[in-house]
Amino acid sequence: MVKDKLTSNDKSPFDIGDQVSFMLEKKKFQGIIEKGYNNSYMIGFQTTDPALEDKYHGKIVINNKNITMVKEGPHNSKGKNKDSEATEDEKK
């Protein structure tokens, strides 16, 4: 039996550069995906809370199931062009 070699990030709708939202210590934050891992993403974010800034330094790793899309980024690291896929589907 052949295992599926795609990670859950390969199957997810998120990509590097996308703006996403997530919950952190019962507060909602928005940030930009900076790096992808097997089941999670590193997200850069900003906060005015000095305790959170000291604890997280503006970066956090969140499971891909716990983030929601706010806005897609301009580029795609998965080798697909989001803009060209949309226009090809519109042509059909």
d(CA 10, CA 30): 22
User: 4-8, 17-21, 41-45: which has the minimum mean pLDDT?
Assistant: 4-8
* Cα separation values, 69 from 51, 73, 92, Å: 26, 10, 27
Q: How many helices and strands in the chain, by DSSP H and E?
A: 3, 5
Query: Does residue 22 surpass a pLDDT of 80?
Result: yes
Query: Does residue 47 surpass a pLDDT of 60?
Result: yes
